[in-house]
Structures are given as structure tokens and as C-alpha cells.
Structure 1
Amino acid sequence: MTNHDEAAAVRPLTLAWVCRHLEVGERIVRTEALHGGITAEVRRLTIGTRDGGSRDLVLRSFVDPFYLGHAEDWLNREAGALTWLAGSGVPAPALVAVDPTAAHCEYPSLLMTHLAGRTVLDDEGLETRVPLLARQLVAIHAVRPAERPREYVALTTADTVVVPKGADAAAWATAIDVIRKPAPPYEGRFLHRDFQPGNVLFDVPSSRSAGVRITGVVDWAATSWGPADLDVAHCSTNLALLHGPAWGLRFAEAYQEAGGVLATAASERLYWQVRDGLACSEEVRWVARSWREAGRAELTTRAVEERLDSYVTAVMNALG
């Protein structure tokens, strides 16, 4: 029997749309909100199958007015990416259906398969997970899609950076000057564009003797074409804010140890690393909130601002 209270959490038109994409005899028996994202409302749908079993799907809907203007583009890009990734060896969800303009749903939505595993944002075991993240990103950058996604977009400018209160003013001024310059030349790669621990699923066995492994990479809405350095910089920034600046610096090393290729010149690597760190300055509040909702209660906005300041300063010292 359908749990009507749970199923009602999915809006009526969207519920009907989802049901049209189920197999004969299947029904939604439960829904569960998935937390940790910033731009979209995400739910896991448990589907009762005709043989008495069950399977899970994931429904992603853009409901926030702030993001609705981007929804059509993001959902089309995600649908394209999931199509290209099928059979690539990268553990991504399979596309079930997409309604990017809300022609059938209350809000623009995408339906995809659910992947096993969970996000892991705590410090324990990080020394094992970082090399796995690096190897996975190298594999993503090796994908050669049938159709090249659009060129990356860097929205942050030198004039929109938000310098944290109490930050090292000299280091930030120098960093901001770095991104006033034109972007360095680069060899294009297939980019996830939001590759970071919150978008990677792990199987973490209870036995420490068993191996940790990545089971999935999700949230492909920002898929782009651009420099590998940009994806590496984004993951580095997130690791620095989650676990401390040293881990942000370590990720670039791990990526190269895994066979990834970054810009040869330190000045070029500095550009991308700094650009992503400064981009994060504009959304610290939302990033910190999503991590607190995911269980990292100590990551207040102020705590994340302090780590960002330390990280930007560390990058400038290492590469500047």
C-alpha cells in the first residue's frame, strides 16, 4: 500500500509525471528528503515493484526562485551528462526522465536512478578518501563525450569577492589581483564542475580491514568543458573548508599522483586555485549551512570564513 503521507510530499503534478515513468505495476511507497544540497530540492523515492520488492529513484526539483532561472540549462546539462556517462565507467546515475521547463511538473525536475553509498564529510579516514577522490576525478577528466558540453563559466570577478572579516588583507588583495588577469591558456577536459565530497558517495565498511570505495558521483548539473585545474581547485577548496587548509593543498598533489595533469607553470596553477577559493567567498553562508545540515554542526559561517582565509593565504604562500 502506498504511504499517502509520504507520497504527498511530492507535489501532485510531479507525482503523476513520475508515475508515468514507472514500470507497469510499480508504485511509490515512500519518499525521503535528501539534505546537503544548495540549489535544488532532492528526494529519494522508494518504488514498490510488481514482484513485491523495491527499488529507489531520485527526484531533483528546482523550487527556489533564486535558482529557477538557471533550472532549464542545468537540467538539460545534467541530462546530457548522464547520457554521455552511461557505459563510461564513471559511477553516475542513469537518467530516467527530465522536465527542464516544468511542462508536466510544478517545478523543473529530473528523475534518475539511486546509487548505493553515502556522502562522508567527517575527518576520520580522510587520508584514505583523498587518493580515491583524486583517482575518480582523473577518470572523469578522461571522458570524451559524444557532444562537448558548453565552455565553463567563472562568475566571480575581482570586484565581487567578499573578503572575510579579519582576513589577511594583503594576501587577499594580492589574490584578487591574480584574477584580474586573463585566464591562462589550457587544454580542455570534461569537467564535473562541482566535484567535492558532498557530491561523492562512498561505501564505508564497518570493518576497518575492508576497503573503502567510491560508489557514485552525483549532481552533474554544472557539467562543462574547461581546464582540469578548475575541477581540482574546486575540490581543493572544499577539502580545505571541511578539513583544514593542508588538505586543500594535498588534493592537487594527489591528483597528479593519480596520473592527472595540471598546468605546468606555478603561476597558472595559482590562477585556478585562487579563482575557486575567491569564488567560495561569495557563498560561504550557504555552503556552511548545507554542511551543518549534513551533520558538521561545528562548521559555522564564521568557522568556514576563517578556514577560507587560511586556505587562500596558504595557496598564495605555496604558489604565489
Structure 2
Amino acid sequence: MTGVPDPRVEALTWAATVLGAPVVDVAELTGALTSTMLDITAGDGTRAVLRLMTEEPWRHHGAELTRRERRAMHELASTRVPAPRSIALDAAGDSAGVAAHLMTRLPGGPTRHLDDGALAAMADALAVIHAVRPAVPFRTFQSWAWEAKWVVPPWTAYPRSWERAFDLLAGEAPTYVPTFLHRDFSHRNLLWRDGTISGVVDWVEASTGPAWLDAAHAATNLALDLGPDRARAFVEAYGDVATDAPHPYWFVMDAVGFLPPPGKQALFGRDEQLTRLDAWLHDLLAWACP
């Protein structure tokens, strides 16, 4: 077994038992923020991905998150959504040491080269997800813009825009058609091969809620990573396939959700990311409160 960090040996031993062959190679997948994601190869050539809930506060909720992801994958197995298939779950971490979910390895990889065609493909993929009708609805979505975050950030060039955003969120949320959500849909959670989407990954937050909240989250991620122009282009592309009109409330909620709780570091806290978040929120408030 090559390149295996000692703390992961327990989990990899469990994975090998499930796969029925020893793990002969392992590589950590980049980009994961809440978990350790391992690309593993068994002695018989089988490749799989092992999620380990190693990062707090998600580790504390690891059992719930991994169970939800496994259920989502079971629901999606008979749909057009290119999601991984669940192989095995150790939600309590009895064998793996932490909550662990073993799943199939899909072909392809992430990309940041997103032209208009790629953004249209993202929008189409999201519409396919939103057309899924689970046998039992998933939990109602959670807002990540909780009130403790409603503090004007010291780095903003638009303090009044943040104040207006908090005022908007303090009001009543708009009504919506309950829809199956990925809830963390973004270009970061897509795999591409030969110019097409080959996989939609990371289903731990699957929920029921407004379709445009998924689109808003994808747009905020694009704004932070690639700038507001790509974000706006995606919103336009999703608008072409959406079944209802956008509401700025969901976009503002999502943008505010990227603020850190008081005393904590933002997940996306590089200077250029904060500058882009600031500009994106300012643009959203011009839309929400012209």
C-alpha cells in the first residue's frame, strides 16, 4: 500500500474488506473542504472513492451526513443524474474510525475553464437534478446565512449593501415549490470528460427547497472563483431551463452564507475571494432593492 497516512489505515482496511481485495494505491483528492476524500485502487483493479468525515464541525455530524449521501445516491441510481453509486457505509465509524462512505469512482475531473457552453451544461444538469422526485422528500434545506453572521465585514467596500442584505433576510422568505436540491451544487462538485459532465458529486447536503437556491449557490461559487461575469452567465443559462422565475432573496441568502461565523475564518477567505464576494453581494442588492 503506497502513500497511506497512518491515521487512515483503519479506514482503508475497512474499505479493503468491503471490496474483497487489498488496497494497493491511494491518493487524496484535492478540493475537499469538509472531508478527506481518497481515490483508492484495489488489487483487482477496482477503483473507488472513500469519504472520511475528518473535519469539524462536519465530523460531529458525520453519521447524519454520510447516511444522507448514501440515501441520495440510492434515489439517483435510476435517474439521469450522473451521481456515484454507494458501495458501503460506516456511519458510526465503528470500523473506519470516523464516519465513512465508500462509493464508485466516476470518470473525469474538475475544471475551471467554463465557457458559455459549459455553463449551459451546468444549468441543464441542475434542471435534471431538480426533476428528481424522491419517494420520501429529503429534509427541508438549511440556511447557511444564520443571524450570527449578520455582521458587516470589516473588509467591505459596500457596508450599506450588507446592511440591506441583512434587512432583506430578516423579512419573510418568498414562497417556493418544494424541489429536490443538491444543496451544494457548484462547478467544484462537477466532473468533466471530453467536454461533458461525467459526474455530480458530494451529496451530503441533499435537501428539499427552492430550486433557485441551488442556482444561487452555484452562482456565488462562480463569482468567488471566476468573477461575477461567469456567475451572471450561469444565472442566465439556468433561467432558460428553470420552471419558475428567480427571486433575489435566495441569492442574497446564499451570498451572506459565505460570511464566517463571528470569530471564525471563512472557508473562502483569500483577499481576492472576499473582494469578489463583496462585489457580487453589491450587485445582488442592486437587483433586490433597486
Q: Which of the five TM-score ranges fits, normalised by the shorter chain?
A: over 0.9
Instruction: Give the structure 2 partner of residue 246 of structure 1.
Output: 229
The one-character-per-residue Cα deviations of 1:259-305 (angstroms, maximum 9, x if unpaired) are 212346xxxx11100000010122895543xxxxxxxxxxx711111
SS in structure 1 at match of 2:260:
coil
Equivalenced residues, count: 286
Indicate how the Cα distance of structure 1 residues 244 and 162 shifts in structure 2: closer, same or farther if over 3 A, else same: farther
- Please identify, of 67-76 and 231-240, the stretch whose mean Cα deviation from structure 2 is larger: 67-76
Indicate how the Cα distance of structure 1 residues 286 and 159 shifts in structure 2: closer, same or farther if over 3 A, else same: closer
Instruction: Give the structure 1 partner of residue 69 of structure 2.
Output: 78
Instruction: Give the structure 2 partner of residue 294 of structure 1.
Output: none
**Following the alignment from structure 1 to structure 2, what is the Cα–Cα distance between the partners of residues 48 and 13?**
17
Q: Is the 8 A contact 2:186 2:217 kept in 1?
A: yes
Of the candidates 275, 278, 301, which is equivalent to residue 253 of structure 2? 275
SS in structure 2 at match of 1:156:
coil
**Following the alignment from structure 2 to structure 1, what is the Cα–Cα distance between the partners of residues 49 and 66?**
14
Q: Is the 8 A contact 2:25 2:40 kept in 1?
A: yes
- C-alpha RMSD of the superposition: 1.9
Of the candidates 8, 13, 34, which is equivalent to residue 11 of structure 1? 8
Of the candidates 273, 284, 288, which is equivalent to residue 315 of structure 1? 284
Instruction: Give the structure 1 partner of residue 275 of structure 2.
Output: 306
Structure 2 residue ranges without an equivalent (≥5): none
Of the candidates 179, 200, 222, which is equivalent to residue 189 of structure 1? 179
Instruction: Give the structure 2 partner of residue 225 of structure 1.
Output: 208
Q: Is 1:260–2:242 an aligned residue pair? A: yes
TM-score calculated relative to the size of structure 2: 0.92
Of the candidates 140, 146, 154, which is equivalent to residue 129 of structure 2? 140
SS in structure 2 at match of 1:201:
strand
Alpha-carbon distance, 1:10 to partner: 6.5
Alpha-carbon distance, 1:245 to partner: 1.3
Aligned-residue sequence identity (percent) comes to 32
Of the candidates 88, 108, 111, which is equivalent to residue 97 of structure 1? 88
Of the candidates 24, 39, 42, which is equivalent to residue 44 of structure 1? 39
Alpha-carbon distance, 1:224 to partner: 0.3
Which residue identity is paired with 1:166?
Answer: T
Which residue identity is paired with 1:143?
Answer: V
**Following the alignment from structure 1 to structure 2, what is the Cα–Cα distance between the partners of residues 270 and 171?**
13
The one-character-per-residue Cα deviations of 1:30-54 (angstroms, maximum 9, x if unpaired) are 00011101100110001221xxxx2
**Following the alignment from structure 1 to structure 2, what is the Cα–Cα distance between the partners of residues 104 and 89?**
33
Which residue identity is paired with 2:270?
Answer: T
The one-character-per-residue Cα deviations of 1:119-165 (angstroms, maximum 9, x if unpaired) are 112xx442221111100000000011122111111132344135331
Q: Is 1:112–2:109 an aligned residue pair? A: no
Of the candidates 145, 159, 165, which is equivalent to residue 175 of structure 1? 165
SS in structure 2 at match of 1:255:
helix
Q: Is the 8 A contact 1:75 1:109 kept in 2?
A: yes
Alpha-carbon distance, 1:185 to partner: 1.1
Which residue identity is paired with 1:311?
Answer: W
TM-score calculated relative to the size of structure 1: 0.84
